[in-house]
Amino acid sequence: MFNRPLEESDWLRFDYYAHRMRKLELDDFSTKSGTKVLIDESVFKELSAYRPTRNLFPNLTEIQMDFMPLHMHPSISHLPALLGPKITDISLTACKRTSNSLPAFLSSIGRLCPRIRKFHLSTSVKLLAPLEILLEGLCHLRTLTLKCHMDPKILRRIGNLTELRYLDLRAARPSDAFNMSLETVTGLLTELQVPLEYLIVKITLPIIVPTSSLTATMQTLVHHPSVSSLTHLQLFDGGNLEQQHYDDPDAIRAAMRLIFALKALRVLSMRYHFSSYLDDEWIAGASQAWPLLEILRLCKDTSAPTATLAGLIPLIRRCPRLKEIYISIHVTPFDTALLHPGDRNMNITSLHLLSSTLSNPPRAFRCLVILFPNLTKVYAVGLAKKEEEWIYLQKLLQ
């Protein structure tokens, strides 16, 4: 809080620096000694009361607000004074205690900040109507991250954002009213006919998953305007903790081969149980389709793997930028005659082998260090039943 009443000289000094402000972060912080520094409610009241018809920071372009601390939630009602027409980037994190003041603040964003290009919202507060109104006004939005409750109306508003290139949707826990299913994502992609570069979606799958739903989603994606622009594709499970069951593993592999059409892909992350169905043949096809691949995450730690260590050779050979691998495989030694000169990756120093199995650690170690000369760590969880063998492998690497 302020230690004394504010004087005109304070406001003159404030105005001098306010015009230089480009980025503002509102959050609690700690001193070097660990003392918690709190933002008192009176500070926001004083700032919002000062020349209330004018923008406090006229040249501000980016604002980040974290209202998870419980004591900060009353201050949201005073924050419209910080918003202005030059702001292009807003990031907002809020807890349930902001439920009374947050809707009005969201409603003011579209009116006071018409040029927003990047918007991030993370909250457990249900804001369906205010969020729908907000998205209707953000016609120039290029980057959208929503980690909150959603419904079909919000998805339809997203479908109207013609300049959108980055989309990250992580709906709150599924309820009786709505969940983000494969069918929902298919419908969203059908409406959102823009060339996305990043697509990140938390999809809730049922216990028994019809492969036709996965096939329909992948077909929609490869016939989408994003087919030549998408560089990051991340789909992960946000619902059931139990293992899903699929009626046809061959159909899973066929559906996943469809995304080989995404020629610009650099990051692929699929955190589903069906990832274990992706075998050496699929990995070889992926390496040929995505020469720019940097990160490959195919893991869900309860399913037995079908791919092998030898199946990674095409990735090493054709994807020189590869720097992260999260995968479920059988770590078994292979014949080094399979290797070509130069088949090695110098970028990777650790491997994440979820639900993987290991045989003959000394020979497997030699194969690993041939492929990854700088490898120092292997993270193995899930089906790694012979723990002592993994410990032995790790000692060899170190």
Dihedral sign (CA 275, 278, 280, 281): negative
Structure tokens at 161: 């954002």
Task: Answer for the pair 209, 245: CB distance below 8 angstroms, yes or no.
Answer: yes
Give the residue among 166, 154, 239, 152 at the shortest CA–CA distance from 199.
166
The angle at the Cα of 184, spanning 236 to 228, to the nearest 5 degrees, equals 70
Q: Which residue has the tokens 């729908």?
A: 132
Packing angle of the helix pair 128-137, 102-112 (nearest 10 deg): 10
Decide the pairing of beta strands 357-358 and 329-331.
parallel
Query: 272-329, pLDDT tens digit by residue?
Result: 777 778 899 999 999 999 999 999 998 765 567 889 999 999 999 999 999 999 998 9
Residue 173: pLDDT band (50, 70, 90) is low
Neighbour count for residue 119 (Cβ, 10 Å): 21
Task: Answer for the pair 165, 196: CB distance below 8 angstroms, yes or no.
Answer: yes
Please tell me the distance from the alpha carbon of residue 138 to that of residue 115, in angstroms, as a whole number: 7
Query: 66-96, pLDDT tens digit by residue?
Result: 876 544 545 677 778 788 899 999 999 887 7
The helix/strand count (H/E) of the chain reads as: 12, 20
3-state secondary structure (DSSP) of residue 53 = coil
Give the residues across from 147 on adjacent strands.
Answer: 122
Query: 200-214, pLDDT tens digit by residue?
Result: 998 877 766 778 888
Confidence at residue 36, expressed as pLDDT on a 0 to 100 scale: 58
Confidence at residue 241, expressed as pLDDT on a 0 to 100 scale: 47
Listed by start position, the domains of the chain span 11-29+36-164
Query: 218-236, pLDDT tens digit by residue?
Result: 999 999 999 999 999 998 8
Neighbour count for residue 136 (Cβ, 10 Å): 12
Decide the pairing of beta strands 307-308 and 166-169.
unpaired
Please tell me the distance from the alpha carbon of residue 381 to that of residue 387, in angstroms, as a whole number: 9
Residue 55: pLDDT band (50, 70, 90) is confident
Distances 349 to 290, 341, 344 between C-alpha atoms, Å: 21, 21, 12
How much is the pTM? 0.87
For domain 11-29+36-164, say whether CATH 3.80.10.10 is its number.
yes
Structure tokens at 319: 């994807």
**For residue 178, is pLDDT > 70?**
no
Residue 57: pLDDT band (50, 70, 90) is confident
